Amino acid sequence: MGNIPEAVLSEIKRDSVKSGIPIISEAAAEFILELIKNANPSNILEIGTGHGYSGTLMLSAVSAKLCTVEIDETRFLKSKENFEAAGITQNVTQHLLDAAEFLRIASGKYDFIFLDGAKGQYLNMLSDLKRLLSRGGLLVSDNIFYHGFVDGSVKLRKNRLTLVENLKAFIEKLTGDKELSTEFFRIGDGISVSRKL
């Protein structure tokens, strides 16, 4: 699309930060923009809408359809407002639903999937994400090093143990998966990029 006003993106970003809604870092945003421009997907699936910052950012770079899933109703409604402000509602399908539940019933194919939902659920979602990913498509997973807890650079807190173990298992699964070619990047909070072979 490329015609989303910069002011709208900046406002969504400002509002997200002010409301305590996690958004991708500046470095991650630049990296994902570059990825998506090169991939030039027709259909994007986003797990974790938030206030719509990532979705709007991705559609600022390519002419594509975005399907985005969010479990929190307040975030869902706010992102709807933001997609309207950005003038992209005709290209966005929103689902107010648990991501794992959505993925179980979803059909069709996506050539770019941005995974930025509940980190502890990444592993459980992987088989359905792979099923929905087109051959040659990209699965981009954010926050995989989770504040340094995953690689041990930050001392693990007990209340994060299960989440971190699940993320480690997710990374291991991606690494060993013969249907995917995966690279890991120390950008932002850690990003993995998996291409379906």
How high is the pLDDT of residue 2?
Answer: 58
pTM for the full predicted model: 0.93
pLDDT band, residue 125 (cuts 50/70/90)? very high
How high is the pLDDT of residue 104?
Answer: 95
User: For residue 25, how many other CB atoms are within 10 A of its CB?
Assistant: 15
How high is the pLDDT of residue 43?
Answer: 98
User: For residue 106, how many other CB atoms are within 10 A of its CB?
Assistant: 18
Read off the tokens for 180: 């995917």
How high is the pLDDT of residue 149?
Answer: 73
How high is the pLDDT of residue 62?
Answer: 95
How high is the pLDDT of residue 6?
Answer: 86
Mean pLDDT, the chain, whole residue set: 92
- CATH architecture of residue range(s) 6-196: 3-Layer(aba) Sandwich (3.40)
How high is the pLDDT of residue 161?
Answer: 82
Quick: pLDDT tens for 141-185.
999 988 677 876 677 777 778 888 999 999 999 999 999 999 999
Q: What is the total residue count of the chain?
A: 197
How high is the pLDDT of residue 177?
Answer: 96
Quick: pLDDT tens for 89-112.
999 999 999 999 999 999 999 999
Q: Which residue has the tokens 């509002």?
A: 15
For residues 51 and 12, the answer to whether their CB atoms sit within 8 Å is yes
Does the structure show a pLDDT above 60 at 1?
A: no
Does the structure show a pLDDT above 70 at 44?
A: yes
How high is the pLDDT of residue 58?
Answer: 96
Alpha-helix runs per DSSP H in the chain: 6-18, 26-39, 53-59, 73-86, 99-105, 122-132, 161-176
Quick: pLDDT tens for 10-35.
999 998 989 998 889 899 999 999 99
